[in-house]
Chain A
Amino acid sequence: TAGITQAPTSQILAAGRSMTLRCTQDMRHNAMYWYRQDLGLGLRLIHYSNTAGTTGKGEVPDGYSVSRANTDDFPLTLASAVPSQTSVYFCASSDRDDNEQFFGPGTRLTVL
């Protein structure tokens, strides 16, 4: 079982460019999440989706957008990247019944 996958593993991006980080899960989980993790800070929620067709804003949503067209996929888009978006991005999913979140391997993004 693949669980939850993310692509790319890492990326260097020029400021002002757009990029989509991909996330796919095969566990049929209802909920999916995007976090960023920066040194010395806890995971911060960017956006989430409780079920296919719905999305919500987390703690730090500015500069990011998401969509949830189906249960498995939850892409995160940076419309115009800025250096402060340099971070490690984790996608996670959970089943409504037990709330344990399963994490993807992460995408390391550097914006120059």
Chain B
Amino acid sequence: GQNIDQPTEMTATEGAIVQINCTYQTSGFNGLFWYQQHAGEAPTFLSYNVLDGLEEKGRFSSFLSRSKGYSYLLLKELQMKDSASYLCAPMDSNYQLIWGAGTKLIIKP
């Protein structure tokens, strides 16, 4: 079956760095997406990895290891506005996104 595993909740301090891990099992693989979702709002795109390695985009970076079925999202210089849920979503062989339940990130001053 298809499965996504990411921590339910994480807490970090403003200005710090946090890494949100995601492990996945899918039927086929066509890349992995990370989305951010603030409470009461729609998910918004953060990153897409299809090859192994690190993709950096400003304060956010995303890493992929296809052989390990593993990805992480790295957030640097945390700001209060980064308090949100972060959704890991690999794409299967049918180009459908398989969504994890998300990691709720709480930022404390």
Q: What residues of chain A have their CB less than 8 Å away from a CB belonging to chain B?
A: 35, 40-45, 48, 58, 90, 98-106
Which chain A positions have C-beta within 8 A of B64? Answer: none
B46 nearest CB across to chain A (Å): 10
Q: What residue in chain B is nearest A101 (Cβ atoms)?
A: B97
| Residue with the greatest number of chain A CB neighbours at <10 A, chosen from B89, B100, B101 | B101
Known contacts A99-B30, A99-B31, A100-B48; is-contact A42 B42 (Cβ 8 Å): no
B99 and A44 contacting across the interface, CB-CB below 8 Å: yes
A103 and B101 contacting across the interface, CB-CB below 8 Å: no
Which chain B positions have C-beta within 8 A of A42? Answer: 4, 87, 98-102
Instruction: Count B-side interface residues using an 8 Å CB cutoff.
Output: 21
B62 nearest CB across to chain A (Å): 13
B96 and A45 contacting across the interface, CB-CB below 8 Å: yes
Known contacts A42-B100, A43-B99; is-contact A103 B44 (Cβ 8 Å): yes
A90 and B87 contacting across the interface, CB-CB below 8 Å: no
Which chain A positions have C-beta within 8 A of B42? Answer: 90, 103-106
Pairs A-B, 6 closest by C-beta atoms:
A42-B99, A103-B42, A43-B99, A42-B101, A42-B100, A100-B45
B77 nearest CB across to chain A (Å): 25
B33 at the interface (CB under 8 A from A): yes
Complex alpha-carbon distance, A35 and B99, angstroms: 10
